[in-house]
């Protein structure tokens, strides 16, 4: 906004200097017109207080922002006309500006009743207004409507809260890592899987949470995904406490508004039961195929034993018949 005012002043000064010398009254009139043009065209609120905090200027932006016309404001004492300024601490900011200090307000809430009745937000800068001798004779206030920014921040917070609620209550193990591959979010399911509280996982790398072999595998996958930006889906097998475990994992890049990859979102869950069911179904179909084959009984039984041996990952399997040939362990 200040840059725009500077351009406006420059254009006005250039116009004045290109004209022939003007009288004092003409220069005063031009200066007043310039002041009025600045106040009218400013894209934020401009107010001017005297030392008694009476309003001396209230531009069209302030009229549109508040719904209060300048005719109702000019000449009135600010704190009497708008008592809420005291509640919001604006009186103290104005006092500091009168003492010669430029001050920034925090975000201030107000109700724009004349339009929607909903809560709106502003921020302000108050700076001393000095005369030619450098004496503080009042305060300039520059008011910015930040309602849209606050609404976006609120929407973002609500969206993040909904996301965290969802993440914490789904049974899958969920995590987010930053570009340095440190955990920035994990849910309770993930923490239980590791046997650690959430607080001890956040900020950590895989090397401090898993075996070196597992950590190296995860880091290799993550770095490849950060480089390519591709989603990764895989099924992993492991053994824990004598039990075979299959997990299904999805990893995808987290991107900012510019499309840059800023981290990794991941989710994994135990699919052992589903995997075992699929394996049993495949085994049953393979055995049926052998039973329906034209091979002799001995070959058929040996083929079935081999199928069972492979499916169960055992060293040997055999059948001892009550009558007839045995099919020894092999």
Q: Which residues neighbour 53 within 8 Å (Cβ) at sequence distance 6 or greater?
A: 77, 78, 79, 94, 139
Weakly modelled stretches of the chain, pLDDT under 70? 1-41, 111-118, 238-244, 276, 279-280, 283-284, 286-330
Q: What is the pTM of this model?
A: 0.53
pLDDT of residue 23: 62
The full set of domains in the chain, from first to last, is: 42-151 (3.30.450.20), 170-270 (3.30.450.20), 276-330 (no CATH)
How many Å from the N-terminal Cα to the C-terminal Cα in the chain?
Answer: 86
pLDDT for 290 equals: 65
pLDDT, tens digit, 9 for 90 and up, residues 197-214? 999 999 999 999 988 888
Q: What is the pLDDT of residues 18-46, one digit of tens each?
A: 445 556 555 555 555 555 666 666 778 99
């Amino acid at each position: 906004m200040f840059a725009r005012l500077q351009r406006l002043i420059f254009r006005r000064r250039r116009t004045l200097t290109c004209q022939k010398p003007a009288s004092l009254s003409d220069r005063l009139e031009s200066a007043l017109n310039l002041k009025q043009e600045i106040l009218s065209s400013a894209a934020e609120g401009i107010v001017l207080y005297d030392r008694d905090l009476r309003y001396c200027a209230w531009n069209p932006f302030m009229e549109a922002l508040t719904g209060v016309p300048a005719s109702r404001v000019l000449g009135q004492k600010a704190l009497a006309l708008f008592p809420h300024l005291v509640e919001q601490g604006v009186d103290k900011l104005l006092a500091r500006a009168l003492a010669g200090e430029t001050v920034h307000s925090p975000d201030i809430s107000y109700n724009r009743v004349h339009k929607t009745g909903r809560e709106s937000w502003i921020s302000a800068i108050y700076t001393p207004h000095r005369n030619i001798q450098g004496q503080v004779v009042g305060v300039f206030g520059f008011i910015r409507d930040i309602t849209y920014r606050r609404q976006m921040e609120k929407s973002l917070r609500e969206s993040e809260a909904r996301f965290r609620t969802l993440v914490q209550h789904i049974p899958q193990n969920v995590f987010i890592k930053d570009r340095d591959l440190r955990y920035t979010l994990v849910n309770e399911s993930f923490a239980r899987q590791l046997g650690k509280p959430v607080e001890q996982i956040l900020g950590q790398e895989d090397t401090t949470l898993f075996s070196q072999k597992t950590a190296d595998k995860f880091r290799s996958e993550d770095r490849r995904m950060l480089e390519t930006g591709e989603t990764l889906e895989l099924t992993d097998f492991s053994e824990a406490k004598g039990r075979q475990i299959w997990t299904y994992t999805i990893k995808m890049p987290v991107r900012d508004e510019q499309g840059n990859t800023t981290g990794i979102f991941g989710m994994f869950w135990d699919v052992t039961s589903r995997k075992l069911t699929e394996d049993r179904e495949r085994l049953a179909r393979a055995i049926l195929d052998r039973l329906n084959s034209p091979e002799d009984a001995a070959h058929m039984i040996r083929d079935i034993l081999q199928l069972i041996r492979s499916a169960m990952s055992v060293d040997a399997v055999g059948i001892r018949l009550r009558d007839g040939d045995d099919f020894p362990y092999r």
